[in-house]
Amino acid sequence: MPRTTSPNVRVAPGIPLKMSAIVGFLIFVEFTSGFVQGFYIPLYGSLTNRLDITDADVTWFVTLWTLSAAVCIPVLAKLGDIFGHRKMLRIAVVAVLVGVCFVAFSQNYALVLIGRILTGPLSVWLPLEIAMVHDRISGEGARKSVGLLISFLTIGVIVGMLASGAIAGLNWNFTAVLLVPAAVTALCVLVVFFLVPESTVRSASTVDYLGFLGLGASMVTLLLGLSGIQKYGISSPQVILLLLLCVAITVAWVFWESRTACPAIDLKLVCSRLMWPPYLTAFLFGMVMLGTQTIGTTFLAAKPEVVGFGFGLGPGMISLLSAGITLMSCIAAGIFAYVARGIGMRGVLLLGVSMGATANLLLVLFHDVFAMVLAYQCLTGLGFGMLLGALPSLVAELSPADQTGIAAGIYNSLKTLGGAVGGAVFGVILASAIGPGGGASISSYQTVWVICIAALGLCIVSLLFMRTEKAPESAKSRPAMPLAEEELSTSVR
């Protein structure tokens, strides 16, 4: 895949290593990431008992991690482009190790939350790894490698959840249970420090501290405002104040970034016709995939004899369906590079969003037929798996060689923000229409699914606007080029 570089690029001496070995080490790192993320999910109830907190309190266990991740992703990804991706990955894995140890040993919830903040850099592991892959290989080889990283991230989540449930059932001391992800992370630290090589391309830009500060403040106020919508309502003063503050900070941040010589985020690149279609797709895809996770569970668990819809499934069956859709996503992420041989990367993205839109249409029309729900699970698993593998790989391919880390980081941030926006909006919709039994009505669920169809349809439209000119040669063999949009090129079809 042709790549470009910024005018001021430094190339560090590379270490000749077999790429398959490098990718193998990174696969373990990403498996660890998934394992840690999945391990805590079945333990939320046990945490409330251990720390003597309420179900409402435990939501901060997830919220603060999301806020920390939203801030860490762009900062560490950009610093990786400047100082070296392995260097930032080392910092990130050590921070996560300290964080999981805080969670394991702390008896005070405030200290546990500090630990969760320290585990926020977990989300930047993947963007840094993608940058390392694209530093050494390109084209289909890079796509296959990224697909494997995504697949093993997903496998790690599944193994983490299963291991958590199994170990918790052994009646171990709860501190010992919580030390399991610490042990896996410690092994990951050794891999990163001694087996993963440093990337060779560096960006010679300076660090835009004020830009990073403004970006972090904007994302934190937005996420706090969105989380407050579900708790206090969209008309509450604190929510309105937070969202207005977010708008003010964002406007000031855009003004600063558009005028500084070395911005934290290159807005000209992000808004170029080359990059905005996949970035918009990432945001909308995150809104649909992450924003509907709890909605899908509540719909399946709803008792039809009480509320008039749903299937009354228990936690065991729901977890089995969730595992099935996760495995399908894993498979699809692993094979997207082979599919791209025939239909191109844009074709893979169009296929993924089309499958997702079709799946939601099935729920709108046949939500009372369990076979159609299973079809929905299959379509979303395969379609979203294609997107999970292809989107980060594509933005890394399209980005200049010295901005791969931040390009992949922006993708991750937009996907996370999309999920937060979707969760807040969908929560308001479900709360606004009360059906039989005092819960959400089926019409509110159908409204959510229609919005998902519209969002994925907008993805299709945006991808059709993406540039498709084919460049004659790899940018890695050409002199460094300015970062103007007209000089960017790609062989995406």
Q: Is 14's pLDDT higher than 60?
A: no
Provide the pLDDT for residue 478. 32
Provide the pLDDT for residue 438. 62
Provide the pLDDT for residue 430. 82
Provide the pLDDT for residue 61. 83
Average confidence (pLDDT) over 425-453: 82
Q: Which pLDDT tens digit goes with each residue over 307-320?
A: 888 888 887 788 78
Q: Which pLDDT tens digit goes with each residue over 340-366?
A: 999 999 999 999 999 999 999 999 999
Residue 39, domain member (yes or no): yes
**Residue 77 neighbours by CB under 8 Å, 6+ apart:** 88, 124, 127, 128, 131, 405, 406, 408, 409, 410
Residue 3, domain member (yes or no): no
H or E element at residue 201: strand 201-203
Beta bridge partners of 202: 10
Residue 5, domain member (yes or no): no
Residue 239, domain member (yes or no): yes
> Which of 28-37, 130-139, 183-192, 196-205 comes out lowest in average pLDDT?
196-205
Last residue of a domain, one of 244, 261, 278: 261
> 16 and 70 share a domain?
yes
Residue 372, domain member (yes or no): yes
Question: What amino acid is encoded at 59 in this protein?
Answer: T
> 175 and 257 share a domain?
no
| pLDDT band at residue 12 using 50, 70 and 90 as cut-offs | very low
| pLDDT band at residue 272 using 50, 70 and 90 as cut-offs | confident
> 200 and 212 share a domain?
no
Orientation of helix 125-136 relative to helix 85-105, angle to 10°: 160
> 363 and 216 share a domain?
no
User: Could you tell me the CATH number of the domain that includes residue 449?
Assistant: 1.20.1250.20
> 128 and 248 share a domain?
no
Q: What is the rounded distance in angstroms from the CA atom of residue 317 to the CA atom of residue 202?
A: 49
Provide the pLDDT for residue 181. 95
Q: What is the rounded distance in angstroms from the CA atom of residue 334 to the CA atom of residue 158?
A: 16
Q: Is 224's pLDDT higher than 60?
A: yes
Q: Which pLDDT tens digit goes with each residue over 63-105?
A: 788 888 888 999 999 999 999 999 999 999 999 999 999 999 9
H or E element at residue 452: helix 442-464
Length of the chain: 493
DSSP 441: -
Q: Which pLDDT tens digit goes with each residue over 444-493?
A: 889 999 999 999 999 999 999 887 543 333 333 333 333 333 333 333 43
Q: Which two tokens stand for residue 324?
A: 């099935």
Domain count for the chain: 3
> 270 and 257 share a domain?
no
Q: Is 13's pLDDT higher than 70?
A: no
Average confidence (pLDDT) over 36-45: 85
Q: What is the rounded distance in angstroms from the CA atom of residue 361 to the CA atom of residue 254?
A: 37
Q: Is 10's pLDDT higher than 50?
A: no
Provide the pLDDT for residue 468. 56
Q: What is the rounded distance in angstroms from the CA atom of residue 461 to the CA atom of residue 200?
A: 37
Q: What is the rounded distance in angstroms from the CA atom of residue 392 to the CA atom of residue 409?
A: 9
Considering the entire predicted model, what is its pTM?
0.83
Residue 477, domain member (yes or no): no
Provide the pLDDT for residue 473. 34
The candidate with the shortest Cα–Cα distance to 217, out of 261, 256, 266, 271, is 256
Q: Is 38's pLDDT higher than 60?
A: yes
Q: Which pLDDT tens digit goes with each residue over 408-419?
A: 999 998 998 888
Last residue of a domain, one of 158, 185, 204: 204
Helix, strand, coil distribution of the chain in percent, nearest 5? 75, 0, 20
Provide the pLDDT for residue 19. 59
Q: Which pLDDT tens digit goes with each residue over 372-396?
A: 989 999 999 999 999 999 999 999 9
| pLDDT band at residue 235 using 50, 70 and 90 as cut-offs | confident
Q: Which pLDDT tens digit goes with each residue over 165-219?
A: 888 778 888 899 999 999 999 999 999 999 888 888 887 778 888 999 999 899 8
Provide the pLDDT for residue 460. 95
Residue 475, domain member (yes or no): no
> 247 and 131 share a domain?
no
Backbone angles phi, psi at 7, to 5 degrees: -60, -40
The average confidence (pLDDT) of the chain is: 84
Question: What amino acid is encoded at 89 in this protein?
Answer: L
> 392 and 433 share a domain?
yes
Percentage above 90 pLDDT, the chain: 42
Provide the pLDDT for residue 475. 36
Pairing outcome for strands 201-203 and 9-11: antiparallel
Provide the pLDDT for residue 288. 93
449 close to 363: Cβ distance less than 8 angstroms: yes
The candidate with the shortest Cα–Cα distance to 352, out of 463, 429, 484, is 463
Residue that is written with structure tokens 């798996």 in the block: 385
Provide the pLDDT for residue 49. 80
347 CB burial (10 A radius; 0-12, 13-18, 19+): middle
> 465 and 342 share a domain?
yes
CB atoms within 10 A of CB 16: 6
> 96 and 152 share a domain?
yes
> 424 and 490 share a domain?
yes
Provide the pLDDT for residue 16. 41
Provide the pLDDT for residue 436. 66
Last residue of a domain, one of 246, 261, 276: 261
Q: What is the rounded distance in angstroms from the CA atom of residue 460 to the CA atom of residue 281?
A: 8
Range of the domain at 99: 10-204
Residue 123, domain member (yes or no): yes
Residue that is written with structure tokens 């970062």 in the block: 483
CA-to-CA dists, residue 337 to 192, 341, 397, angstroms: 26, 7, 13
The candidate with the shortest Cα–Cα distance to 93, out of 49, 124, 62, is 124
> 197 and 275 share a domain?
no
